[in-house]
Amino acid sequence: MPLLPFTRPQIDEETIAGVAEVLRSGWITSGPQVKAFEAALSALCGGRAVRTFNSGTAALEVALRLAGIGPGDEVITTPLSWVATANVVLEVGARPVFVDVDSRTRNIDLNEIEKTISPATRAVIPVDLAGLPVDRDRLYSLARAKKLRVIEDAAQSFGANWRGKALGSFGDLVAFSFHANKNVTCAEGGALVLPDEHLVPLCEKLRLQGVARSGEDGMEVDVLGGKWNLTDVAARIGLGQLPHLGAFTERRRALAKRYFALWDRSLGCELPPEDFAQSNWHMFQIALPSRVERSSFMKKMRDEGIGVGVHYPAMHMFKLYRRLGWREGQFPQAERLGRSLATLPLFPAMADDDVDRVCAAAKKVLS
Ligand SMILES: Cc1ncc(COP(=O)(O)O)c(C=O)c1O
């Protein structure tokens, strides 16, 4: 049996041919495909302005810069995320302030945010881990009450919704990732949804060296920008993915349902919340019981032909963050989940009996 990976992108033949066309066209960096991709993303986000980037990380960093966050400012976020979430805060010279996660949702514990707010707090970066949306009603009512900006790290939750409203179609700044493992991919890429059309010119300048062009030959630079534009090659992949978004999400939900139907509850693992309405099921993560060492579980599963992923160790325990003063023991839930979460295979091209195989292998390994 070939190894069943924990995820695999699904690119159709029309997209592959479309990429070849872009490569032959004579224009391979940002151009008409990027414009078309941004228009298609905007349509999915209620017509709001969307600009693309060469990564979700770049989209998050530009969001922070657009919100005016810099040295002296604090930004509240979760320690249980890909380290990009907090790295971007450091990149703009601000300080990330971590808050533990809710053990059930594995997302930032909204009850804990208020007590960490200081006079320097300027923003919150919620993360929809595995595609399960953070409670947007509570989040935004807190942000409004405390006058905080919200930069939604929706890197994993493209295609998810809150009470029927697509993520990105409402709220403050919303950043998506189109990294190879995401539900919709450009190979590498990202997008930022802007809460206000007036932010577009500055967003575009921050994306590309601060350059503003005018007339036939005018060029001016009045702000320091990065080099974060998406290529037309990548945008063409993304454009080919978008028509499948609904079907991809449906298939992921069906596979997740099958995991719940077949998983042996006596194994002592914690399963994710059973949300089949809002989550995009970017990942299916179990928390292993404390008696099980994750590395040995992963190795034994690999021997059974099943790939298992790690998303993610609690980031305040990384050396970089320890040097900034964070310590083990500060966020017990994130630390426990960071050690015990195991990402099982879930991607649209999986067959139903692949789920059966994973459940049987896990039962064998954990029994
Ligand atoms: C939660 C989270 N935030 C940010 C990122 C960064 O996105 P990218 O890898 O596209 O830079 C990712 C993607 O891996 C992510 O999962």
Ligand 1 near 127 CB (within 6 A):
yes
Ligand 1 near 130 CB (within 6 A):
no
Among residues 35, 146, 147, 182, the one annotated as catalytic is: 182
End-to-end CA distance of the chain: 22
Pocket test for ligand 1, best of 77, 179, 341 (most atoms within 8 A of CB): 179
Ligand 1 near 42 CB (within 6 A):
no
The whole-chain average pLDDT of the chain stands at: 98
84 C-alpha to center of ligand 1: Å? 6
Ligand 1 near 57 CB (within 6 A):
yes
Looking at the CA of residue 181, tell me the nearest atom of ligand 1: 14
pLDDT at 240: 98
Distance CA 61, CA 222 (A): 18
Partners of 98 in the beta sheet? Answer: 77
Ligand 1 near 152 CB (within 6 A):
no
Answer yes or no: are the C-beta atoms of 174 and 154 closer than 8 Å: yes
Ligand 1 near 85 CB (within 6 A):
yes
H helix or E strand, kind and range, residue 294: helix 294-303
182 C-alpha to center of ligand 1: Å? 9
Q: What pLDDT digit, counting tens, does each position of 232-258 carry?
A: 999 999 999 999 999 999 999 999 999
Looking at the CA of residue 60, tell me the nearest atom of ligand 1: 4
Residue by residue, pLDDT tens for the chain (367 residues) are 899 999 999 999 999 999 999 999 999 999 999 999 999 999 999 999 999 999 999 999 999 999 999 999 999 999 999 999 999 999 999 999 999 999 999 999 999 999 999 999 999 999 999 999 999 999 999 999 999 999 999 999 999 999 999 999 999 999 999 999 999 999 999 999 999 999 999 999 999 999 999 999 999 999 999 999 999 999 999 999 999 999 999 999 999 999 999 999 999 999 999 999 999 999 999 999 999 999 999 999 999 999 999 999 999 999 999 999 999 999 999 999 999 999 999 999 999 999 999 999 999 999 9
Ligand 1 near 84 CB (within 6 A):
yes
215 C-alpha to center of ligand 1: Å? 37
Locate the DSSP E strands across 134-217. Answer: 149-153, 161-162, 165-166, 173-177, 190-193, 211-214
Ligand 1 near 179 CB (within 6 A):
yes
363 C-alpha to center of ligand 1: Å? 31
CA-to-CA dists, residue 302 to 5, 20, 78, 154, 296, angstroms: 9, 35, 30, 30, 10
pLDDT at 1: 81
Q: What pLDDT digit, counting tens, does each position of 307-321 carry?
A: 999 999 999 999 999
Ligand 1 near 343 CB (within 6 A):
no
299 C-alpha to center of ligand 1: Å? 26
Distance CA 225, CA 95 (A): 21
H helix or E strand, kind and range, residue 256: helix 245-262
In whole angstroms, what separates CA 122 from the centre of its chain? 21
Looking at the CA of residue 156, tell me the nearest atom of ligand 1: 16
pTM over 0.95: yes
pLDDT at 307: 98
Instruction: Please say if 182 is a catalytic residue.
Output: yes
Looking at the CA of residue 58, tell me the nearest atom of ligand 1: 11
Q: Pairing state of beta strands 149-153 and 95-98?
A: unpaired
Nearest CA owner, ligand 1 atom 8:
56
Ligand 1 near 190 CB (within 6 A):
yes
57 C-alpha to center of ligand 1: Å? 6
Q: How many residues does the structure list for the chain?
A: 367
181 C-alpha to center of ligand 1: Å? 10
